């Protein structure tokens, strides 16, 4: 498509002042649209799975329950999130750097490979050829085309990551920007580096599994498969974390004109992710046979929890940036005036704040606690784990991406967001639903409810062996369903608003778009040059007392939940 | 804005407020790290590493021979086995059954062997909520001391095929 003969086409964005390369923009759009399509499929499966896990309704039969659970995992955790992250890379690379995307033809090839791979895997799952759930633990065996679908998808993603690196080189060589890369690009770079490691994990996991499913490889060691699988399984979540944090900084800028309080602190935190976050995959193997306690403790702790420290730093830096920006707007009284007067009616802002809270307070705390070597005994493979990763990936990453969408629609698709009233409501529905659902899942798991289970009444098992859970387990499963329905409603609303806006929304003539909330959609183009000049003075007088109080409150909750879990562990039978 | 390059010199001293919180967070993360080795030496609940490679068929035979020797009854078609107090205990996970039903004495420490003769399974003792992975080809050794009397359920909490939810076993402590 793009050859040297065709001149690079650019437009200048009135809101951000960025020069937007047409090819990068087109690829961004395609990947974002595909992401939303896969989210819609994942969400549909989520609702059916959710209504099956509610004992009074028990909607699906076991075969379709496990099949749609496999489908839900693949579409939500891989296809939706990674397609959206590809869109973010096209933005954070060429667009943010005012540069061109080299070799856009490869971008189209990558999108085709990813779409083909995802479709292939989905078809095999729905045909009942891959009832293996997301993890596909060998010796459970799926159809070879299922593994091939995953491999094609990963190859496509690898190409986009390569294009992102190439765009950094091109932008630097052609002098598209001066000095250091912007923070959002730095976050995107972190995600891209982690993606390389992740895709390596995908190769060592799924290429042998593919040949094994064909019968070419006679044997696949199940313990080695688990070790390899988690080299893709968890690092892919670390891509999500890095991309999400980059989106947090971006949304803080877009919604209230915030700038990082300390570039140094934020960049050090991203660097800690690059260095340490991937080894934490070991926390999936804490109660596995064969691995030494020393190996487990070192790896599950991300090397003395330095990557946890990184997340805690971002959890301070992003709210601090918001606080400083809002105080600068005059909401400077007391500890929290900035918080009360924040643009809560702006869906981008609401999504940002809810994402930080759900990711940090629910997802972050449970992650560290359940990833403690010994505490894994009382949490491994229970519903506690499902609560943890829905808080991080759905309440955290997905909600942040939803919030960003309200800016992608006007700024990139050049359409107005339809139904602004519903758009304002959407992040709250989704976020509050997620809070209720994830907390209830964690609680149900605390009472022993297993994950990935069709029937906790064991109604089809031999009568003499059946086991009955305590009443609280059922209460929390009901609350899980309630929260889940709210979240699915919020998710459906998001898909509807996005599709209607992109394909039928009024064309944007001029930005800002006042329909999005009290503060103009983009904090004002006039803020941009000023933002540079004021960085120094704001650093000197940064008043972040409110954020500090909130963060110490968070630390308090963290300490209490952590100690409580040691107490619960001490109450079970001695085992060594 | 975070989408524009930062000012030329951005590596400036970190403000006092940030330092305070980062120091507190670092202190906490170091604590959460070091409590793991401390519990390893001082705590009573630790996932160990004692594991043997074992042939799946061989393990199956070993469990069957042991169960025949100490069988004391039957429940729902599954033998109930009561080994000598403080001795070896074998548990087999297979689609879709825990074999056999175990009868143990409270306060005794048993050497429990766990493995699978087919797929990956998850050992989940309820309502205590103690969970361990069961992997075919690996014989996992856990020294367990039951401290409460009663009947406990053994569930499978790792997906092992379309009959996963049928897999329930029992552990009786007297």
Who contacts A47 (Cβ-Cβ below 8 Å, separation ≥6)? Answer: A484, A485, A488
Alpha-carbon distance of A161 to A167, in angstroms, equals 10
Cβ–Cβ under 8 Å, residues A358 and A431: yes
How many angstroms away from the CA of A321 is the closest CA of chain B?
A: 10
- CB A201, CB A127: distance < 8 Å: no
Is residue A534 less than 8 Å (CB to CB) from chain B? no
| C-alpha span between A245 and A248 (Å, rounded) | 5
Q: How high is the pLDDT of residue A482?
A: 98
Task: Give the closest-approach CA distance of B85 to chain A in angstroms.
Answer: 16
* CA dihedral (A61, A67, A69, A75) positive or negative: negative
| Number of domains observed in the structure of chain A | 1
pLDDT of residue A521: 37
The closest alpha carbon to A266, from A253, A281, A254, belongs to A253
The CATH classification number of B50-173 equals: 2.60.40.420
Q: How many residues does chain B have?
A: 174
Location of structure tokens 């309440």: A395
Of A133, A135, A467, the CB nearest to B168: A467
In a domain, residue A210? The reply is: no
> Rounded to an integer, what is the distance from CA A335 to the centroid of its chain?
31
Residue A345 CA to residue A174 CA, distance in Å, equals: 41
Domain assignment present for residue A509? The answer is yes
From A223's Cα to the closest Cα of chain B, the distance in A is 7
Cβ count near A530 (within 10 Å): 12
Instruction: Tell how far CA A574 is from the center of its chain.
Output: 37
DSSP assignment letter at A288: -
Q: How confident is the model at residue B2 (pLDDT cuts 50, 70, 90)?
A: confident
Residue A286 CB contacts under 8 Å (≥ 6 apart), including other chains: A296, A300, A371, A373, A376, A380, B47
Q: Determine the distance in angstroms separating the CA of A265 from the nearest CA of chain B, rounded to an integer.
A: 7
CA gap A158, A155 in Å, rounded:
5
Q: Is residue A448 part of a domain?
A: yes
ipTM value greater than 0.85: yes
- Give the helix, strand, coil percentages of chain B, each rounded to 5: 25, 35, 35
CB B139 within 8 A of CB B114: yes
CB neighbour class for A387 (10 Å; exposed up to 12, middle 13-18, buried from 19): buried
Minimal Cα–Cα distance from A197 to chain B, Å?
24
Question: Taking CB atoms and an 8 Å limit, are B35 and A372 in contact across chains?
Answer: yes
Distances (CA, A) of B145 to A286, A335, A546, A574, B174: 20, 53, 49, 5, 12
Q: Which residues pair with B53 in a beta bridge?
A: B138
SS3 at position B173: strand
Residue A343 DSSP SS3: coil
Distance CA B31, CA B33 (A): 5
What pLDDT score does A304 carry? 86
SS3 state of residue B45: strand
Q: How far apart are CA A478 and CA B174, in angstroms?
A: 35
Based on C-alpha coordinates, what's the Rg of chain A? 23
- Nearest Cα residue to A380 out of A290, A499, A255, A286: A286
How would you write the pLDDT of chain A (576 residues) with one tens digit per residue? Answer: 444 555 678 998 887 888 999 999 999 999 999 999 999 999 999 999 999 999 999 999 999 999 999 999 999 999 999 999 999 999 999 999 999 999 999 999 999 999 999 999 999 999 999 999 999 999 999 999 999 999 999 999 999 999 999 999 999 999 999 999 999 999 999 999 999 999 989 999 999 999 999 999 999 999 999 999 999 999 999 999 999 999 999 999 999 999 999 999 999 999 999 999 888 889 999 999 999 999 999 999 988 899 999 999 999 999 999 999 999 989 999 999 999 999 999 999 999 999 999 999 999 999 999 999 999 999 999 999 999 999 999 999 999 999 999 999 999 999 999 999 999 999 999 999 999 999 999 999 999 999 999 999 999 999 999 999 999 999 999 999 999 999 999 999 999 999 999 999 999 876 654 444 444 433 333 333 333 333 333 444 579 999 999 999 999 999 999 999 999 999 999 999
Chain A hits for B35, Cβ within 8 Å = 372, 566
Q: Which residues of B touch A223 (CB under 8 A)?
A: 135, 137-138
Instruction: Please say whether the beta carbons of A420 and A516 come within 8 A.
Output: yes
In the stretch 69-128 of chain A, residues with CB closer than 8 A to chain B read: 96
Assigned domain for A575 exists: no
Contact B29 A63 (CB under 8 A): no
pLDDT at residue A512, rounded to an integer: 55
**Could A182 and B168 be called an inter-chain contact, meaning their C-beta atoms sit closer than 8 Å?**
no
Percentage of chain B surpassing pLDDT 90? 90
Gap between the Cα atoms of A260 and A254, Å rounded: 13
Which positions in chain B touch A133 (Cβ < 8 Å)? 159
Cβ(A221)–Cβ(B137) below 8 Å? yes
Provide, as residue numbers in chain A, all residues whose Cβ is less than 8 Å from the Cβ of B142: 575-576
Instruction: Locate the DSSP E strands across B20-147.
Output: 51-53, 71-75, 78-81, 88-94, 97-99, 101-104, 110-116, 121-126, 130-134, 138-144
Task: Return the number of other C-beta atoms located less than 10 Å from residue B51's C-beta.
Answer: 17
Residues 146-165, chain A, touching B (beta carbon < 8 A)? none
Rounded CA Rg of chain B: 24
Q: Provide, as residue numbers in chain A, all residues whose Cβ is less than 8 Å from the Cβ of B156.
A: 450
Range of the domain at A439: 347-455+467-522+551-570
Residue of B nearest to A306 (CA): B29
**Closest Cβ–Cβ partner in A462, A531, A575 for B1:** A531
* Contacting residues of A for B2, CB less than 8 Å apart: 182-184, 249-250, 252-253, 258-260
What is the predicted pLDDT for the residue at A518? 42
Residue B30: what are its φ and ψ, rounded to 5°? -65, -35
- Are the C-beta atoms of residues A93 and A157 closer than 8 Å to each other? no
Residue of B nearest to A260 (CA): B2
Q: Is residue A510 part of a domain?
A: yes
Number of A/B CB contacts below 8 angstroms equals 326
Is the Cβ–Cβ distance between A147 and A209 less than 8 Å?
yes
Find which of A465, A471, A524 to mutate to test the B interface (most B CBs within 10 Å of its CB): A465
| Residue contact A368–B32, C-beta within 8 A | yes
Which CATH number is A479's domain given? 1.20.210.10
Q: A313 and A266 in contact (C-beta within 8 Å)?
A: yes
A43 with A202: CB under 8 angstroms? no
pLDDT of residue A6: 57
Q: Is residue A370 part of a domain?
A: yes
Put simply, whether A16 touches B (Cβ < 8 Å) is yes
Q: What is the structure's pLDDT at A5?
A: 53
pLDDT of A531 reads: 38
| Closest residue in chain B to residue A563, using alpha carbons only | B32
* Distance in angstroms (rounded) separating the CA atoms of residues A479 and A203: 39
Which residue shows structure tokens 């028990």?
A: A58
pLDDT (0 to 100) of residue B102: 98
The sign of the CA dihedral A231, A233, A239, A242 is: negative
Does A388 reside within a domain? yes
A341 touching chain B per CB within 8 A: no
Answer whether A289's CB lies under 8 Å from B135's CB: yes
For residue A560, being part of any structural domain is answered with yes
- Site of tokens 């009959």: B163
Looking at chain A, the number of H-run helices and the number of E-run strands are 20, 2
Is cis: bond before A366, omega within 30 of 0?
no
Average pLDDT over every residue of B104-119:
97
Which of the residue ranges A382-386, B4-8, B74-78, B156-160 would you say has the lowest mean pLDDT?
B4-8
The answer to whether the CB of A59 falls within 8 A of the CB of A486 is no
Closest in B17, B127, B157 to A548, CB measured = B17
Phi-psi region of A140 (alpha: psi -120 to 50; beta: other; left: phi over 0): beta
Cβ partners under 8 Å of residue A390, min gap 6: A434, A437, A438, A441
A455·B130 Cβ contact <8 A: no
């Amino acid at each position: 498509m793009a050859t040297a003969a065709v001149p690079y086409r650019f437009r200048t964005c009135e809101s951000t002042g960025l020069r937007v390369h047409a090819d990068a923009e087109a690829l961004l759009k395609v990947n974002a649209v595909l992401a939303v399509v896969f989210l819609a499929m994942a969400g549909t499966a989520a609702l059916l799975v959710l209504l099956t896990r509610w004992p009074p309704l028990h909607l699906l039969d076991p075969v379709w329950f496990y099949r749609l659970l496999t489908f839900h995992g693949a579409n939500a955790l891989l296809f939706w999130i990674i397609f959206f992250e590809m869109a973010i890379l096209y933005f954070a690379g060429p667009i943010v750097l005012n540069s061109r995307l080299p070799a856009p033809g490869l971008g189209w090839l990558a999108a085709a490979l990813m779409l083909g791979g995802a479709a292939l895997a989905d078809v095999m799952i729905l045909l009942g050829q891959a009832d293996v759930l997301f993890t596909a633990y060998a010796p459970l065996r799926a159809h070879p085309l299922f593994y091939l679908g995953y491999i094609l998808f990963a190859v496509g993603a690898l190409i986009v990551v390569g294009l992102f690196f190439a765009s950094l080189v091109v932008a630097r060589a052609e002098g598209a920007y001066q000095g250091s890369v912007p923070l959002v690009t730095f976050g995107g770079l972190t995600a891209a580096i982690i993606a390389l490691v992740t895709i390596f994990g995908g190769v060592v996991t799924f290429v042998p599994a593919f040949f094994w499913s064909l019968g070419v490889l006679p044997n696949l060691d199940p313990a080695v498969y688990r070790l390899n699988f988690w080299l893709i399984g968890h690092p892919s979540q670390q891509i999500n974390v890095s991309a999400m944090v980059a989106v947090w900084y971006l949304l803080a800028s877009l919604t209230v004109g915030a700038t990082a309080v300390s570039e140094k602190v934020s960049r050090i935190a991203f660097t800690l992710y690059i260095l340490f976050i991937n080894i934490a995959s070991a926390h999936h193997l804490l109660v596995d046979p064969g691995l030494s306690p020393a190996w487990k403790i070192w790896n599950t702790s991300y090397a003395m929890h330095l990557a946890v420290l990184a997340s805690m730093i971002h959890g301070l830096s992003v709210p601090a940036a918001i606080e400083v920006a809002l105080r600068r707007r005059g909401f400077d009284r007391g500890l929290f005036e900035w918080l009360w007067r924040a643009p809560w009616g702006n869906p981008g802002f609401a999504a940002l704040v809810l994402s930080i809270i759900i990711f940090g307070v629910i997802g972050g705390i449970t992650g560290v606690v359940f990833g403690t070597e010994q505490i894994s005994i009382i949490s491994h493979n229970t519903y506690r784990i499902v609560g943890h990763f829905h808080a991080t990936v759905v309440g955290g990453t997905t909600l942040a991406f939803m919030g960003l969408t309200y800016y992608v629609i006007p700024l990139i698709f050049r359409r107005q967001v339809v139904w602004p009233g519903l758009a304002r409501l959407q992040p709250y529905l989704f976020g509050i639903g997620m809070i209720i659902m994830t907390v209830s899942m964690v609680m149900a798991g605390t009472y022993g409810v297993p994950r990935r289970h069709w029937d906790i009444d064991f109604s089809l098992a031999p009568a003499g062996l059946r086991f009955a859970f305590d009443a609280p387990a059922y209460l929390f499963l009901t609350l899980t369903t309630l929260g889940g329905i709210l979240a699915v409603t919020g998710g459906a609303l998001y898909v509807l608003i996005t599709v209607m806006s992109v394909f039928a929304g009024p064309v944007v003539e001029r930005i800002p778009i006042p329909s999005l909330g009290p503060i103009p959609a983009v904090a004002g183009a006039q803020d941009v040059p000023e933002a540079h000049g004021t960085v120094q003075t704001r650093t000197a007088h940064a008043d972040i007392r409110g954020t500090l109080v909130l963060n110490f409150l968070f630390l308090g909750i963290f300490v209490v939940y952590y100690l409580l879990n040691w107490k619960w562990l001490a109450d079970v039978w001695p085992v060594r | 804005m975070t989408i524009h390059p930062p000012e030329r010199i951005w590596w400036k001293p970190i403000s006092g407020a940030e330092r305070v919180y980062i120091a507190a967070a670092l202190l906490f993360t170091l604590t959460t790290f070091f409590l793991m080795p401390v519990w390893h030496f001082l705590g009573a609940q630790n996932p160990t590493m004692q594991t043997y490679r074992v042939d799946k068929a061989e393990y199956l035979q070993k469990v069957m021979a042991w169960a025949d020797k100490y069988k004391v009854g039957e429940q729902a078609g599954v033998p109930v086995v009561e080994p000598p107090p403080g001795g070896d205990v074998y548990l087999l996970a297979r689609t879709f059954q825990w074999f056999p039903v175990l009868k143990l004495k409270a306060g005794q420490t048993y050497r429990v062997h766990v493995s699978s003769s087919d797929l990956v399974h998850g050992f989940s003792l309820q309502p205590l909520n103690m969970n361990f992975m069961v992997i075919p080809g690996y014989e996992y050794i856990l020294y367990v001391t039951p401290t409460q009397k009663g009947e406990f359920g053994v569930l499978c909490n790792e997906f092992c095929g379309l009959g996963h939810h049928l897999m329930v076993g029992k552990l009786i402590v007297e």
